[in-house]
């Protein structure tokens, strides 16, 4: 949606969004999700630019997959995007203390609940997979309200409305602008701080492996974890349908004692949670936003056509899970 230029544009966009939400709320969520699937199919057919970008990204992530299978995944990813919008507006009506268990399956959350119950600072990370909005809502409904970092929308009226939906069940939103003091305050008080951690961080980000290619990643999560001695929980909420049903679980917990002896703790932390996101995506690739430009920024040496620097090579080789085949792929020229 383009940024509104005047009050009329702001109000017309806002009223259109509210009317659409009111119309959707008149029908059962299953019917709305079926409609969302049809809209997603139409978007996939019409939006050539994002369809091609999605296929390009799938080719990077799954080079051995057939063209037909990648095309099918691309279609499902478009359908998933529209289903997300339906689920976000429906979640306050379906996820509350009296009914959340009817719509959610919890998977081996014992270690996570133990950490969250300790009253110590905790960082939660996920990616653009499954339904990250539902993940935050579920955590709050379970009695573990968290603070989430989000970019405000261009339309302040729509932004205020959606922020209200997010916070209705106890999820507190911190806008990305000038958020450092609030993030530190949350962790200092023993709270939980949530991030969607697969954003492209620009040319100056930290480049770590993601699906066999280096991806620019923000350093702030690792720096916060190190400064606050806070464990990082890598989790997800993904659709298991039919209807409004989700599975919530975690892929990895990165504890302070695990990075303490690493030669480069910040690189280790960042690479490890990005690896966890990759593993979660591999389990449900159709529920990832492949049109998201995860590999947009490139390392300086790539842009200059130079070989990988020795320092970066040493950082990669020091990762405990790094294998020879992956390392070889990372040193090749980009596709």
Write the pLDDT tens digit of every residue in 53-71. 999 999 999 999 999 999 9
- Residue 12 and residue 73 in contact, taking contact as beta carbons nearer than 8 Å: no
Radius of gyration of the chain (CA): 20
Q: What is the pLDDT of residue 44?
A: 96
How far is the C-alpha of 141 from the C-alpha of 146, rounded, in Å? Answer: 10
Q: Where are the beta strands (DSSP E) in the chain?
A: 104-106, 122-126, 147-150, 172-175, 192-196, 206-210, 213-217, 232-239, 246-254
Q: Please state whether beta strands 122-126 and 232-239 pair in parallel, antiparallel, or not at all (unpaired).
A: parallel
12 vs 35: CA distance, rounded Å = 24
Cis peptide before 242 (omega within 30 of 0): yes
| Model pLDDT, residue 165 | 66
Contacts of 30 (CB under 8 A, 6+ apart): 242, 243, 244
DSSP annotation of 192: E
CATH class name, domain 101-331: alpha beta
Q: Determine the pLDDT at residue 21.
A: 72
CB-CB neighbours of 14 under 10 Å? 18
Task: Give the chain's residues under pLDDT 50.
Answer: none
Q: Evaluate the CA torsion angle 81, 125, 196, 51 in order and state its sign.
A: negative
Which residue's entry shows tokens 């932390």?
269
Q: How confident is the model at residue 168, as a pLDDT?
A: 65
Per-residue pLDDT, 85: 84
Give residue 34's region: left, alpha or beta (phi > 0; psi -120 to 50): alpha
Tokens (6 digits) for 238:
């993904």
DSSP 268: H
| Strand duo 122-126 + 192-196: pairing | parallel
DSSP 219: S
* Distance (Å, whole) CA 158 – CA 154: 8
Identify the DSSP state of 253.
E
What are the b/e assignments for 43-78, b being 16+ CB within 10 Å?
bbeeeeebbebbbbbbebbbeeeeeeebbebbbbbb
Q: What is the pLDDT of residue 129?
A: 95
Contact call for residues 237 and 198 (beta carbons, < 8 A): no
The total number of residues shown for the chain amounts to: 335
CB 277 within 8 Å of CB 235: no
pLDDT, position 177: 65
- Residue 212 CA, chain-centre distance (Å), reads 19
Predicted pLDDT at 138: 86
User: Which of 62, 60, 53, 29 lies closest to 239 in space, CA to CA?
Assistant: 29
Q: Is-contact 265 315, C-beta < 8 A?
A: no
């Amino acid at each position: 949606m383009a940024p509104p230029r005047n009050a009329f544009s702001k109000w017309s966009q806002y009223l259109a969004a509210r009317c659409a939400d009111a119309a959707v709320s008149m029908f059962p969520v299953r019917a709305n999700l079926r409609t969302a699937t049809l809209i997603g199919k139409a978007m996939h057919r019409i939006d050539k630019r994002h369809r091609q970008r999605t296929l390009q990204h799938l080719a990077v992530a799954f080079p051995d997959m057939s063209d037909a299978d990648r095309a099918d995944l691309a279609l499902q990813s478009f359908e998933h995007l529209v289903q997300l919008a339906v689920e976000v507006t429906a979640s306050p009506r379906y996820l509350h203390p009296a009914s959340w268990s009817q719509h959610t399956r919890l998977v081996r959350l014992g270690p996570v609940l133990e950490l969250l119950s300790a009253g110590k600072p905790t960082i939660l990370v996920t990616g653009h997979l499954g339904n990250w909005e539902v993940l935050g809502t579920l955590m709050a409904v379970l009695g573990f309200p968290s603070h989430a970092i989000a970019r405000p929308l261009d339309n302040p009226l729509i932004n205020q409305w959606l922020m209200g939906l997010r916070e209705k069940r106890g999820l507190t939103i911190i806008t990305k602008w000038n958020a450092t003091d609030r993030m530190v305050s949350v962790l200092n008080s023993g709270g939980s701080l949530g991030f969607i951690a697969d954003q492209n961080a620009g040319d100056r980000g930290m480049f770590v492996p993601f699906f066999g290619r280096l991806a620019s990643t923000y350093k702030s999560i690792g720096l916060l974890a190190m400064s606050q001695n806070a464990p990082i929980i890598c989790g997800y909420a993904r659709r298991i349908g039919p209807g409004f049903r989700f599975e919530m679980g975690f892929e990895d917990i990165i504890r302070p004692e695990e990075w303490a002896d690493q030669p480069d703790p910040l690189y280790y932390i960042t690479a490890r949670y990005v690896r966890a996101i990759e593993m979660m995506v591999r389990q449900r690739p159709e529920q990832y936003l492949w049109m998201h430009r995860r590999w947009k920024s490139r390392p300086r040496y790539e842009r200059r056509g130079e070989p990988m620097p020795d320092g970066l090579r040493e950082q990669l080789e020091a990762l405990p899970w790094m294998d020879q085949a992956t390392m070889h792929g990372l040193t090749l020229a980009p596709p």
